[in-house]
């Protein structure tokens, strides 16, 4: 059966942002999903910009969205994906026994907290296959720190690096010119790597 994808936004922009809409379309096509479900956490809905609440509240709301999706598509493999904060919450949701996710896709995982601490506890506990896509210039996730965490993780995991990419994978024109590539090409490579990983995770279910 084709997978269903639940895709969570980051802290600063809702599911209707250009970035989320573009990635929703790319991921849905590459994974041949039955649907890509996006949603807004309550703190950002209605156009109001507030600080995100405690993570537990986000996990609770996110889990409810996932359960509704599973009820709508029984038997379809579940993939969780998220941008930044949404990827961290996706990992927490995936660690719930009753969720039964087949894989988690983290787009710009915010490994480093505001205080500089490395937030790896959920990653180390997770048993679900997990795919990281990170920009090489992402200050919220130093690659050497992520590599150290990946070595300690129990779950099958892979990393795709977007060279020159920032936290939202934006690559400076100078870098693109020197590499002879484009933003679209770099993102397409990432999406193909995600699709290959998810396919492998589903085959191993």
50-81: pLDDT as tens digits: 777 789 999 999 999 999 999 999 999 999 99
Contacts (Cβ under 8 Å, ≥6 apart) of 71: none
DSSP assignments along 72-109, one per residue: HSTTSPEEEEEETHHHHHHHHHHTSTTT--SEEEEES-
Percent of the chain topping pLDDT 90: 87
Question: Which domains are assigned to the chain?
Answer: 4-203 (3.40.50.1820)
Tokens of 173: 């024109």
- The alpha carbons of the chain give a radius of gyration, in whole angstroms, of 16
pTM over 0.75: yes
Q: What is the per-residue pLDDT for 49?
A: 65
User: What digits encode the pLDDT tens for the residues 134-156?
Assistant: 999 999 999 999 999 999 999 99
Report the C-alpha gap between 110 and 181 in whole angstroms.
26
Instruction: Lowest mean pLDDT of 10-14, 76-80, 115-119, name the range.
Output: 115-119
The answer on pLDDT for 45 being more than 80 is: no
Pairing assessment for the beta strands 35-38 and 78-83 based on DSSP bridges: unpaired
Mean of pLDDT values over 160-172: 97
């Amino acid at each position: 059966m084709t997978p269903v994808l639940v895709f969570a936004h980051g802290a600063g922009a809702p599911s209707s942002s250009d970035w989320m809409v573009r990635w929703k379309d790319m991921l849905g096509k590459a994974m041949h999903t039955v649907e890509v479900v996006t949603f807004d956490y309550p703190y950002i809905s209605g156009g109001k910009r507030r600080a995100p609440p405690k993570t537990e509240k986000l996990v609770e709301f996110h889990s409810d969205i996932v359960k509704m999706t599973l009820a709508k598509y029984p038997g379809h493999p579940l993939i969780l994906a998220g941008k930044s904060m949404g990827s961290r919450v996706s990992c927490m949701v995936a660690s719930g026994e009753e969720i039964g996710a087949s894989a988690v896709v983290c787009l710009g995982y915010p490994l480093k907290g505001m205080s500089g601490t490395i937030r790896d506890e959920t990653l180390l506990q997770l048993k679900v296959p997990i795919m990281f896509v990170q920009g090489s210039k992402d200050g919220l996730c130093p690659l050497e720190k992520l590599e150290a965490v990946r070595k300690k993780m129990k779950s099958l995991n892979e990393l795709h690096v977007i060279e020159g990419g920032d936290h939202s994978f934006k690559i400076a024109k100078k870098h693109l010119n020197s590499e002879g590539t484009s933003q679209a090409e770099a993102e397409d490579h990432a999406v193909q790597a995600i699709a290959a990983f998810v396919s492998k995770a589903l085959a191993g279910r």
